[in-house]
């Protein structure tokens, strides 16, 4: 027996859930468009080629200022990620010098188990090299950024499992530079006007430009060499860094929910059979 | 509870145990034979769901504590280590973090059910008071747990919320410093919060035992609020309610699993993926969704009341919003338990529910402009409901006639559809 009021009650409670995200909109930043990501939704998976391209953008451009301290070289060959071969990863790691007090001269070539080396020795050095702004670490950055939708659209996020606010923001930010700044906007010396950055004055100069990176063999010709494409690829790669087990998690979730649905169905029958003897 | 024990020791070993520690007898009486009204609806399954959630949180929490490091420079990375490198860690961590939200969703439903069906009325006052105490313990535990990942929101929530205690006259500052272990939120705070976060769930479990004891003395309330009159109106807890509750728990697990596996971060705030930094204040400090109604009440008091400044006033209303719940059994003067038979109460009740949801939303809105005024109005209604509506309604409202017994109500319910569909009724299994 389900009463109308029970339904209303349930609706109100589900709205409690829906009230979660701070309606905290940064004033003056336009709403960020939701992009299509291969890893969105319950059946989402990473596109291996895209992660490899994104890694190339990260390695050649971003990593000169941004660290990724939680990422180890070995992660790059793990299933569900860019899936480079172990040989490739070993060769890649060996290109880097790792600080190791036990090594001769304090440095040694990297191995697969090493973490991604940071471009600066500490935060202060990073600030000094970047006009006072600290380039944030990339390890979980894709989950440390988000987007907001106006009421009532954010309610649907709970039913679509929207978790790509970070990549959406990163993509928007990388495509959001306006030079010269729009009329009336004040941008301090050394800052750059960005439509999507809160306050609009971003310390990072536009890092990407069309044709800046030539994707490695196999991709040539099929993938456009544009800022839009680079930013999609690097945002996907950053999402992978933040959530390296996303694919396995979603696969497990599919099995768990399928199991729960069957189990719930069986328990319902058990309950019905049992209670059929009782007038209630 | 006044019912004869039906337990007969099955063999010499059971007999031997029964003469010394009658734990099997006790279990049979309370976990199996416990007579439960047969007309409980699905809102009554949330007690079992909450017990399940407490178990989930304790088990996942103990495992997380094996891998977590309570130190300001290591805590954030150790949580990431759990997600990345610990076997099954990403699921255990997500279950624990999302579990807090599901736990609160369930407890709010459980409390609103109690408020609607008058489950707090005599002779169940102590049962209700223990329930409110459990809610307070849950709030404290969840708050301390949220600090442990040591992200930006963790740190600033800890700062803002502990600051609240500083508003208490005279004792405020010593309490504040004791709680923080210093003048500011730092490593000492993180360590004591970790310790207390591990301790409190076991206190919750102990109070749950008292809560169930206090339930088993008068027995369950039920949707019509008329006391059980004969044993024919009850069914043994097992298997009737164990199976129904198990079904409800599994259904509850479906949205739970949805969040855990498909959107583990949607109930949190992105800023908590930035490591705590005392030098950078987030643009908007927002607590977890389950604290938002009370956060809205805290912020609504932005004016001085006589000699009480706005900060202390906010704290008084914030604490009062929870403390008032302890007195509900005496504030509600109506003799009728169930809201079903109270035509005017229903309107105020559903307005209260809507108002609570509204407060949740206001708690997430910035404290400026129209939101401040709306928060004040919603806060006012929150208190008016308990302090004015409930006491007065009992005097002025004419309740609808109550069924004399559960049996009568059940018969009436079955007669109505039977009259409409005689064919279906005759073939019902």
- The model's pLDDT over B116-139, given as tens digits with 9 standing for 90+, comes to 999 999 999 999 999 999 999 999
pLDDT reported for residue A1: 45
Chain B, nearest residue to A248 by Cα: B261
Residue A85 lies in a domain: no
The answer to whether residues B116 and B339 touch, using CB atoms and an 8 Å cutoff, is: yes
CATH numeric code, B34-224+232-273: 1.20.810.10
Question: Is the model's pLDDT at B159 over the cut of 50?
Answer: yes
Q: Are B414 and A279 in contact (CB < 8 Å)?
A: yes
CATH number at residue A67: 1.10.760.10
Q: What percent of chain A has pLDDT over 70?
A: 88
Average pLDDT, chain A: 89
Reduced to 3 states, what is the DSSP secondary structure of residue A19? coil
Instruction: Indicate yes or no: CB of A278 within 8 angstroms of CB of B413.
Output: no
Q: B70 vs A9, A236, B142, B145, CA distance in Å?
A: 40, 32, 16, 11
Give the pLDDT confidence of B265-280 residue by residue, as tens digits: 999 999 999 999 999 9
Over the range B58-73, which residues count as b (16 or more CB within 10 Å of their CB) and which as e?
bebbebbeeebbbebe
Residues 6+ apart with CB under 8 A from B153: B146, B268, B269, B271, B272, B282, B285, B286
What average pLDDT does this structure show over A143-162? 91
pLDDT for A221 equals 66
Sign of CA pseudo-dihedral B80, B82, B86, B88: negative
The strand pairing partners of A201, in sequence order, are A193
Average pLDDT, integer, range B206-234: 96
Q: Using CA atoms, how far apart are residues B258 and A257, in angstroms rounded to an integer? A: 7
* DSSP calls for B86-110: STTHHHHHHHHHHHHHHHHHHHHHH
Q: Are B50 and B89 in contact (CB under 8 A)?
A: no
How far is A265 from A250, CA to CA, in rounded Å? Answer: 22
Contacts of A75 in chain B (CB under 8 A): 84
Model confidence at A183, in pLDDT bands (50, 70, 90)?
Answer: confident
Run of H or E including B188: helix B187-216
Q: Which one-letter DSSP state was computed for residue A76?
A: G
Helices (H) and strands (E) in chain A, counts: 9, 4
Angle, alpha carbons B265-B158-B325 (nearest 5°): 90
The whole-number average pLDDT for the span A27-51 is 90
Residue B413 has pLDDT above 90, yes or no: no
Q: Would you say residue A250 lies in a domain?
A: no
Q: Do B104 and B290 contact (CB within 8 A), yes or no? A: yes
Compute the radius of gyration of chain B from its Cα atoms.
24
pLDDT band at A179 (very low <50, low <70, confident <90, very high): confident
Classified as helix, coil or strand, A115 is strand
CB B292 within 8 Å of CB B360: yes
Range of the domain at A186: 4-71+115-244
Per the model's pLDDT, the better-predicted residue between B164 and A232 turns out to be A232
Whether A125 is in a domain gets the answer yes
Q: Report the alpha-carbon distance of residue A54 to residue A240 in Å, rounded.
A: 10
Which among B331, B334, B307, B350 is positioned nearest to B388, based on CA atoms? B331
For residue A217, what pLDDT is reported? 64
Tell me the average pLDDT across B351-357. Answer: 98
Domain(s) of CATH 1.20.810.10: residues in chain B? 34-224+232-273
Total beta-carbon pairs less than 8 A apart between chain A and chain B: 158
Mean pLDDT of the B102-109 span: 98
- Reported as a single tens digit per residue, the pLDDT across A69-87 is 999 999 999 999 999 999 9
Q: What is the ipTM of this complex?
A: 0.91
Q: Percent of chain A at pLDDT above 90?
A: 73
User: Has residue A158 been placed in a domain?
Assistant: yes
C-alpha to C-alpha distances, B264 to A115, A144, A163, A253, B90, nearest whole angstrom: 26, 13, 8, 11, 10
Q: Which of A7-11, A27-31, A106-110, B314-318 bottoms out in mean pLDDT, i.e. has the lowest?
A: A7-11
B258 near A CB under 8 A? yes
- Whether residue A224 is contained in a domain is answered as yes
* Amino acid A250: pLDDT: 96
| Number of C-beta neighbours around residue A171 at 10 A | 24
The predicted structure's pLDDT at residue A149: 87
Contacts with B6 (C-beta within 8 Å, 6 or more apart), sequence order: B28, B33
| DSSP symbols for B134-165 | HHHHHHHHHHHHHHTT-BHHHHHHHHHHHHHH
CB contact under 8 A, B243 and A6: no
Angstrom distance (rounded) from CA A162 to CA A145 = 13
Among A72, A75, A242, A253, the strongest candidate for a mutation testing the B interface, having the largest count of B CBs within 10 A, is: A253
Query: Mean pLDDT over residues A47-74, rounded?
Result: 96
Residues from chain A that touch B39, judged by Cβ atoms under 8 A, are 280
Lowest mean pLDDT among A135-139, A219-223, B31-35, B328-332: A219-223
Cα angle at B294 between B293 and B295, to 5 degrees?
90
Given a cut of 70, is residue B222 above it in pLDDT?
A: yes
pLDDT band of A21, cuts 50, 70, 90: very low
A270: pLDDT strictly greater than 50: yes
Q: Is the pLDDT of residue B331 over 80?
A: yes
* 8 Å CB contact between B331 and B390: yes
Task: Tell which residue, A162, A150, A145, A143, has the closest CA to residue A70.
Answer: A143
Q: Tell whether A90 is covered by a domain.
A: no
Q: Cβ separation of A13 and B270 shorter than 8 Å?
A: no
Residues 116-175 of B with CB under 8 A from A: none
B351 at the A interface (CB within 8 A)?
no
Lowest-confidence range among A206-220, B249-263, B365-379?
Answer: A206-220
DSSP A12: H
- The answer to whether B361 contacts A19, with C-beta atoms less than 8 Å apart, is yes
pLDDT over 60 at B11, yes or no: yes
Q: Is 90 exceeded by the pLDDT of residue A212?
A: yes
Q: Are B362 and B289 in contact (CB under 8 A)?
A: no
Q: What is the mean pLDDT of residues A204-218?
A: 88
Tokens standing for A268? 């319902």
Dist CA A180 CA A197 (whole Å)? 16
pLDDT given for residue A26 in this prediction: 42
B367 reaches A (C-beta below 8 A): no
Q: What rounded mean pLDDT belongs to chain B? A: 93
A256, B262 Cβ separation under 8 angstroms? no
**What does the pLDDT average to over B294-320?**
91
- For B191, phi and psi rounded to 5 degrees? -65, -45
Task: Name which of A229-243, B2-16, B169-183, B190-204 the model is least confident about.
Answer: B2-16
pLDDT number for residue A4:
66
DSSP A213: S
Residue B28, pLDDT score? 93
Q: Residue A109: which H helix or E strand, with range?
A: strand A107-109
Q: Which residues contact B219 (CB under 8 A, 6 or more apart)?
A: B1, B35, B36, B37, B228, B234
Indicate yes or no: CB of B261 within 8 angstroms of CB of A12: no
Q: Does B354 touch chain A (CB under 8 A)?
A: yes
Domain count, chain A: 1
Query: Residue A274: its chain B contacts at CB < 8 A?
Result: 239-240, 243
- pLDDT surpassing 60 at residue B305: yes
Residue B44 CB contacts under 8 Å (≥ 6 apart), including other chains = B113, B220, B222
């Amino acid at each position: 027996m389900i009463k109308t009021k029970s339904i209303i009650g349930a609706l109100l409670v589900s709205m409690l859930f829906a009230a979660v995200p701070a309606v905290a909109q940064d004033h003056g930043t336009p709403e960020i468009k939701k992009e299509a990501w291969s890893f969105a939704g319950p059946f989402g998976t990473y596109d291996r080629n895209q992660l490899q391209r994104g890694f190339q953008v990260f390695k050649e451009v971003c990593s000169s200022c941004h660290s990724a301290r939680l990422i180890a070289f070995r992660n790059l060959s793990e299933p569900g990620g860019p899936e480079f071969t172990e040989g490739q990863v070993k060769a890649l790691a060996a290109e880097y010098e790792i600080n190791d007090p036990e090594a001769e001269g304090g440095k040694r070539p990297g191995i697969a188990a090493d973490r991604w080396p940071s471009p600066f020795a500490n935060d202060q050095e990073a600030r000094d090299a970047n006009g006072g702004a600290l380039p944030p670490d990339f390890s979980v950055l894709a989950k440390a950024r988000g987007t907001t939708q106006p009421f009532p659209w954010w309610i649907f996020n709970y039913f679509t499992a929207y978790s790509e606010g970070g990549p959406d923001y990163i993509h928007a930010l990388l495509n959001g530079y306006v030079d010269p700044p729009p009329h009336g906007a004040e941008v301090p010396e050394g800052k750059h006007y960005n439509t999507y950055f809160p306050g609009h004055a971003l310390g990072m100069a536009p890092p990407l430009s069309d044709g800046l990176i030539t994707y490695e063999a196999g991709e040539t010709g099929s993938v456009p060499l544009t800022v839009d494409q680079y930013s999609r690829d690097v945002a996907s790669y950053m999402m992978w860094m933040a959530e390296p087990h996303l694919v396995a998690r979603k696969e497990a979730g599919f099995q768990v929910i399928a199991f729960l649905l069957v189990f719930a169905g069986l328990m319902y029958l058990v309950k019905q059979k049992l209670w059929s003897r009782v007038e209630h | 509870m006044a019912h004869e024990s039906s337990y007969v020791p099955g063999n010499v070993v059971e007999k031997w145990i029964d003469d010394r520690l009658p734990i099997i007898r006790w279990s049979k009486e309370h976990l199996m034979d416990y007579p439960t009204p047969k007309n409980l609806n699905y809102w009554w399954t949330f007690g079992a769901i909450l017990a399940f959630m407490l178990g989930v949180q304790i088990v996942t929490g103990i495992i997380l504590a094996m891998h977590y490091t309570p130190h300001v420079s290591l805590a954030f990375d150790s949580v990431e280590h759990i997600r990345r490198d610990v076997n099954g860690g990403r699921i255990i961590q997500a279950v624990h973090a999302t579990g807090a939200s599901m736990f609160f969703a369930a407890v709010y439903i459980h409390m609103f059910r109690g408020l609607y069906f008058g489950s707090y009325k005599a002779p169940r006052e102590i049962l209700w008071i223990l329930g409110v105490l459990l809610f307070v313990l849950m709030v404290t535990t969840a708050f301390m747990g949220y600090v442990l990942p040591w992200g930006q929101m963790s740190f600033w929530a800890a700062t803002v919320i502990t600051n609240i205690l500083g508003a208490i006259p005279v004792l405020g500052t010593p309490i504040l410093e004791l709680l923080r272990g210093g003048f500011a939120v730092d490593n000492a705070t993180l360590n004591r919060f970790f310790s207390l976060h591990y301790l409190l769930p076991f206190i919750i479990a102990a109070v749950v035992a008292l809560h169930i004891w206090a339930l088993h003395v008068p027995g369950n309330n039920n949707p019509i609020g008329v006391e059980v009159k004969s044993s024919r109106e009850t069914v043994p807890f097992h298997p009737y309610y164990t199976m129904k509750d198990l079904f409800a728990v599994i259904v509850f697990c479906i949205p739970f699993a949805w969040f855990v596996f498909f959107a583990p971060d949607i109930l949190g705030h992105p800023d908590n993926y930035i490591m705590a930094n005392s030098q950078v204040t987030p643009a908007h400090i927002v607590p977890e969704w389950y604290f938002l109604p009370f956060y809205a009440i805290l912020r609504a008091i932005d004016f001085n009341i006589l000699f009480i400044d706005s900060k202390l006033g906010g704290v008084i209303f914030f604490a009062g919003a929870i403390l008032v719940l302890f007195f509900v059994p005496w504030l509600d003067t109506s003799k009728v338990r169930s809201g079903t038979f109270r035509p005017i109460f229903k309107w105020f009740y559903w307005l209260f529910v809507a108002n609570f949801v509204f407060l949740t939303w206001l708690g997430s809105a910035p404290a400026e402009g129209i939101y401040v005024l709306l928060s004040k109005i919603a806060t006012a209604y929150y208190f008016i409901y308990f302090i004015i509506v409930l006491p007065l309604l009992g005097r002025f409202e004419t309740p609808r006639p109550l069924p004399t017994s559960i049996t009568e109500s059940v018969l009436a319910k079955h007669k109505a559809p039977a009259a409409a569909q005689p064919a279906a009724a005759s073939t019902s299994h």
